[in-house]
Amino acid sequence: MDGKRSGAPFSYADIKPYAVPSQLEELRGPEHGLVTLPHEVAWGGRREFNLDDDYDRAAMYKIVLEEGQEADQRRLLNRAILRREWRNILPARQVRTLWENRFPELGRAA
């Protein structure tokens, strides 16, 4: 035996319960300016992002998609930005799959 269990998750990301809102219309976050993420969402480092900067915007959305709860996502993400920028945001594979399954229009936009 090589020490691996059959069917065992590859990583924590494989079993982590990610949040996904029920409707994109719930996402009413800001479209421009500086956003400071709460510690419980951005617990690993940088917390301030400029939504008018392409890199910052994609980085912030990735963090909120992966670490935010539904209330965080509703408050911090904007549905128009998410639809427009989906292909530029690179969340974990599991997160991308969950969101595209719930909102097929995101997958079609990518």
At a CB cut-off of 8 Å and minimum separation 6, what does 48 contact?
A: 34, 35, 36, 37
pLDDT in tens, 51-69: 999 999 999 999 999 999 9
3-class DSSP state of 28: strand
pTM of the model: 0.85
pLDDT recorded at residue 44: 82
pLDDT in tens, 6-46: 566 566 556 678 999 999 999 999 999 999 999 999 988 89
| Contact indicator for 41, 59 with CB cutoff of 8 Å | no
